[in-house]
Chains A and B, each alone.
Chain A
Amino acid sequence: MSIGKVEGKEEKKMKMVRIYIMGKMYEVPEGLTIMKAMEYAGYRFIRGCGCRGGFCGACATVYRIGNDYKLYTGLACQTTVQDGMYLVQIPFVPAEKPRYDIDKLRPTASTVISIFPEVTRCVACNTCTKSCPQDIEVMDAIQAIIRGDLIKAAELSFDCIACGICSMRCPAEIVHYHVFQLVRRLYGKYLAKKAKHLEQRVNEILQGKYAEELEKLTKMSIEELKKLYETREIEKVEVIKR
């Protein structure tokens, strides 16, 4: 029995689809994510790949499918390949993050607009919303900022993973994910209700309540730490049945 034969058998069973990676055609097994399909085709990710779980926003992908005018976007680790996909990876979105001192800002529309004046260039084309792999109402969040409703903007943009696809597509050249980060920081610092237990815990830490324990941990060897971790108390988790 030769290995080649076994491989041949498996390949016959697997249904293959044709995809185009930066213009070159590859046959890859159906059902793979774009990321796995590219690895199957021989690409090795050094950038543009992070958590592989749809949370880190590092693997933005742009694609078209034959006979369809739409330009699609997605995360390579979350989107499965389709026959006739033309793919390109966007491992990084050029966008400079302005520096600001959150302690010196006020939570108003004019604060955000003075740091990101391009926000007011929004013509409500909604391209950002259509491109968002997280299904965020991106345009509505930008519009909420313009009318000074930072709470709404923070809530709408809560699921943003900063993949930057919206900012690549925006004709007004807004860098949404940096704008939203500022808005959520303003929200957290000035607008959200304060969590008393958090404040209490921070005070405890500042007063050195846990200093001794932490000191002890830092001096432990890796073996001791592993043992401690394995024998830790685990809270009971309720299993939610779907």
Chain B
Amino acid sequence: MYFPGCTLKTTALNYEETALAVARKLGIELIELERWNCCGVVFNLAVDSAMHHVAAVRDLIRAQQMSKKIGDNRLVTLCSMCFNTLKRVNELVKSDYEKLETINKFMDEEEDYQCEIEVKHFLEILRDDIGFETIEKSTTKPLKNLKVAPYYGCTLVRPKDIGIDSPENPQVIENLVQAIGAEPVKFPYKVKCCGSYDIVYDRKIAEQRAIEIRKAASRWGANVIVVTCPLCHYNLSLQVRAPEIPIVYFTELMAIALGVDEVLDPQVRRIIYSIMGEIK
């Protein structure tokens, strides 16, 4: 099952389109939930808050209803933010029975949530279910000359209990880009926060982060930064005095490598092909 999230339907359309194309190519069927709502955006840390978990639990119930039909309990996300919120709420209600009961009772128009859904990021499916060897074998167009700064940000790897890889030194993006023929550079800024929603309150914070991260990527020899989150993409792409280094989603690179780049944004395609030395 697949949970897109609002941003993938508005500003990050190409992230979704390329991911779906890549998944099809690798024989993964991502079935969008028939009904879903915004996940709640940010996991609420207030201990006495139940209301802000309602949105995520409702999505988990929608997934539960659909899992019975299709016989698979995995809910896959692309947006790291949705991944973080859905998975943290899922873990919270699994361990806090009282909170689960309060939320279930509040949503008396829905069936109870049984806590049997597993929230996964698409990268986990690629790593654990498909395997990077298979991806390497499926690569028809290795991405030569591409020096990738793998950028994880926060929500994919933190907190540790829900992260898909080490919170300090994750490797999953490195391994993936290696499999598709690109070269990951050493990138000490890979888990530095992009500024996240500070962009709403104080643009300067996000601008400062964009400058630091882009300068670092350039200094470590990268010619492209790979991201997994639409908000990181937005913040790192801000107009600032820093090297103009392209910010792309990992699925956009995969679409080229696996030969399914018909759906790729033509501008991104031009940039990547020109780095590879094949202007197209």
Please give me the residue from chain A that is nearest to B58 by CB atom: A124
Please determine whether B9 and A124 come into contact, CB atoms closer than 8 angstroms.
Answer: no
CB under 8 Å from chain B, chain A span 104-129: 108-110, 122-126, 129
A109 to B54 CA separation, bound complex (whole angstroms): 23
Min CB–CB distance B105 → chain A (angstroms) = 11
CB under 8 Å from chain A, chain B span 2-33: 4-6, 9-10
Instruction: Give chain A residues whose Cβ lies under 8 Å from the Cβ of B94.
Output: none
Instruction: Give chain B residues whose Cβ lies under 8 Å from the Cβ of A139.
Output: 37
- Indicate whether B52 reaches chain A with its CB closer than 8 angstroms: yes
Instruction: Give chain B residues whose Cβ lies under 8 Å from the Cβ of A122.
Output: 37-38
A140 to B55 CA separation, bound complex (whole angstroms): 12
Instruction: Give chain B residues whose Cβ lies under 8 Å from the Cβ of A147.
Output: 4-6, 9-10, 38
Please determine whether A140 and B35 come into contact, CB atoms closer than 8 angstroms.
Answer: yes
Please determine whether A149 and B35 come into contact, CB atoms closer than 8 angstroms.
Answer: no
A213 to B163 CA separation, bound complex (whole angstroms): 75
Please determine whether A126 and B109 come into contact, CB atoms closer than 8 angstroms.
Answer: yes
A182 to B4 CA separation, bound complex (whole angstroms): 26
Instruction: Tell me which of B37, B52, B54, B107 contacts A143 (CB under 8 A).
Output: B37
- Indicate whether A91 reaches chain B with its CB closer than 8 angstroms: no
Please determine whether B6 and A124 come into contact, CB atoms closer than 8 angstroms.
Answer: no
Instruction: Give chain A residues whose Cβ lies under 8 Å from the Cβ of B109.
Output: 126, 129-130
Please determine whether B37 and A124 come into contact, CB atoms closer than 8 angstroms.
Answer: yes
Min CB–CB distance A242 → chain B (angstroms) = 30
A140 to B54 CA separation, bound complex (whole angstroms): 14
- Indicate whether A16 reaches chain B with its CB closer than 8 angstroms: no
Interface string of B149-182 (1 = CB under 8 A from A): 0000000000000000000000000000000000
A117 to B51 CA separation, bound complex (whole angstroms): 20
Instruction: Give chain A residues whose Cβ lies under 8 Å from the Cβ of B246.
Output: none
- Indicate whether B40 reaches chain A with its CB closer than 8 angstroms: yes
Please give me the residue from chain A that is nearest to B51 by CB atom: A123
- Indicate whether A146 reaches chain B with its CB closer than 8 angstroms: yes
Q: 10 more A-B contacts (CB under 8 A) besides A124-B40, A147-B6? A: A108-B10, A123-B40, A124-B58, A125-B51, A126-B109, A140-B37, A143-B36, A147-B4, A147-B10, A148-B10
Residues of chain A touching chain B, judged by Cβ–Cβ distance below 8 Å, are: 108-110, 122-126, 129-130, 139-140, 143, 146-149, 171
10 closest cross-chain pairs (CB), A and B = A124-B55, A147-B9, A147-B6, A124-B37, A143-B37, A148-B10, A146-B6, A124-B58, A123-B55, A125-B54
Residues of chain B touching chain A, judged by Cβ–Cβ distance below 8 Å, are: 4-6, 9-10, 35-38, 40, 51-52, 54-55, 58, 106-107, 109
Task: List 30 interface pairs A-B (beta carbons < 8 Å), by A numbering.
Answer: A110-B10, A123-B40, A123-B51, A123-B52, A123-B54, A124-B37, A124-B38, A124-B40, A124-B55, A124-B58, A125-B51, A125-B106, A126-B58, A126-B107, A126-B109, A129-B109, A139-B37, A143-B36, A143-B38, A146-B6, A146-B38, A147-B4, A147-B6, A147-B9, A147-B38, A148-B6, A148-B9, A148-B10, A149-B9, A171-B51
